[in-house]
Amino acid sequence: MLRRAWKPALIVSAPALGYLYYTSREQQQTFDLPVRVRGPDGTPAMATRTLPLISAAAADARIREHAAATSVARPGVVFRHSTASVAANDPLEDAMAHQVVRRDAGDGDLLFFTVMDGHGGYHTSQLLSRVLINAVALELSALTAPKPASGWLDGLKAALWGAPTTPAAKTVDADIHLDPRAATAPHPKSPDADPARVARAIQTAFTSLDAELLSAPLRVLAAALAKDTLPSTAVPDLSAHPLALPAMLPALSGSCALLALLDTAHRSLYVACSGDSRAVAGVWEADAQRWRVEVLSEDQTGRNPAEAARMRSEHPASEARDVIRNGRVLGGLEPARAFGDARYKWSRGLQETLYHAFLAGNDHPMRAPPAALKTPPYVTARPVVTHRVVDLPAPGAAPPPNGAGAMRFIVLATDGLWDELSSEDVVRLVGGHLAGLSGAVPKAALPALVPTVTGARAVEGKDARRQRDAAAEGAWAFVDENPSAHLIRNAFGGADTGALRRLLSIPAPLARRHRDDVSVTVVWWEEAEGDVPEVASVTIPRSEVRAKL
């Protein structure tokens, strides 16, 4: 069994597996935290603040509070996934969503998983958690929708002169990375089996949804102006309009979005990334008895040279110094791709008009446009889409070629996880979790217990908060059943219970200077053992998808 193949015998001495917990019967402990304050004259200064230290049990509860896991069984294979999140902001600005859609013909499933990393508020990420998967599903359904029947004149022309010549297909966009194995496969007869067409459909869904989000306030304003008797130069006060804040806030706040689509019928995995969340895969190389680390996305920030070059190419040469400054868009926003973030997409005049129409009467502040804003938009929601052929266990399926390995799990997480852990750390921690490791494992010992090799490496566009050193002192903790909670614990301290308690004790808004919101989804699949009952997936009619949008 493949599942057993990646579970080597692990013999670790009892002291190394010891994991000490503090009990809630302790007296209340405190710790000192340096904080930045403003002095009487307004100048920044550092001060010390004494904070209560939560117990180990309370830290455990916080890590596991939003942890969940589900599974979907199919003939020969079981798909499992776990989620968990821990907030630094109040409220949490991250969001997650997942959905399993069974095709109308019953030929395989579409498994969608998303994580959204909000910034400047939670409004955009929460909206995306409700509609992004539906938008992509609707765009994919259009690939196989019946085409309208041609008229008699078109039929006559085709009979006399042949079908009209179709322009040559465009070269695959630089934002689409296809698995080389797809290029050598026979040309698919069905459009939804063509990786290039599927990737473009996903991109269209992202950009169209962002356009809808940004145009919502304009539609409300246009409808009001059409009914208003004020002079055309006056800006109406729409602060009492029921859509004033619901339309404006998701456009003004922003969110990165990371989506994984596993198409079981065509054995394809698509990862679409807008922003600096990241997806990595663990590929089991049975011959070598090790995991290969495959990074499926790039951190799209100004520190990514390709992103910086792309952005500079889209604006006049006179703006070259300002488009990316200090690794940030116009010196302010870190991700170069995101939904919302209208401050970087609307003109100055439009921002001023919409502020007076919707927010001024609500006494709701709106940040001024960036000082260097000249030729918006500077930020796009268009994702980079990566495609991989996935060798899924199935009755009668051929094993992968020797040495090729088989992908067995993927991890999607907001940047709060990658601030603390490297892609290699994450694959080792998940691989060790699947292998049954438990207790405290010295960081220096884990690479030998869970060997890895780096495969596809992507550009890291962020500075890590901590030194990423696999041989560093300390220990990882293998104490959580939920793989997503397991990763969050190790990002925040691992087996160092004291460090974990201190970090989780810092309240918002102080916490944001020491850690970020973290949301993690882990998806893995394994051979079904014995007669596993099939779990029905959700079939969503197209009419319902449209209604949800």
- Tell me the two tokens of residue 271: 């990862």
Residue 247, φ and ψ in degrees, nearest 5: -85, -40
Helix (H) or strand (E) holding 391: none
Strands (E), 136-253: 176-177
Characterize 291-317 residue by residue with b for buried, 16 or more Cβ atoms within 10 angstroms of its Cβ, and e for exposed. Answer: bbbbbbbbbbbbbbeebbebbbeebee
Phi, psi (deg, nearest 5) at residue 534: -75, 135
| CA distances (Å), origin 142, targets 22, 111, 197 | 56, 18, 11
| Omega prior to 236 cis, within 30 of 0 | no
Contacts of 395 (CB under 8 A, 6+ apart): 75, 76
Phi, psi of 128 (to 5 degrees): -65, -35
Q: What sign results for the dihedral spanned by CA atoms 504, 510, 516, 518?
A: positive
CA of 382: how far to CAs of 202, 335, 339, 378, 379, in Å? 9, 12, 9, 12, 9
Q: Which tens digit of pLDDT belongs to each residue from 443-466? A: 999 999 999 998 766 666 665 545
CA–CA dist 159, 286 (Å, integer): 56
Q: Tell me the mean pLDDT per 10 residues along the chain, length 549.
A: 46 43 60 84 84 94 96 88 96 96 77 97 97 96 72 44 37 78 73 92 97 96 78 80 95 98 94 97 93 94 93 94 94 96 97 95 92 96 96 62 78 96 96 95 95 78 52 86 98 95 94 94 85 36 33
Instruction: Give CA–CA dist 407/268, Å, rounded.
Output: 11
- End-to-end, the C-alpha distance of the chain in Å comes to 42
Residue pLDDT, tens place only, 17-35: 444 444 444 477 998 888 8
Side-chain half-sphere exposure of 419, counting CA atoms within 13 A: 15
CATH superfamily of 2-143+172-548: PPM-type phosphatase domain (3.60.40.10)
For residue 37, what pLDDT is reported?
Answer: 82
Other Cβ atoms within 10 Å of 230 Cβ, number: 11
**Residues ≥6 apart with Cβ < 8 Å to 273:** 256, 257, 258, 259, 279, 297, 298, 300, 337, 383, 384, 385, 386
Q: Where do the domains of the chain lie? A: 2-143+172-548
Q: Give CA–CA dist 383/206, Å, rounded.
A: 7
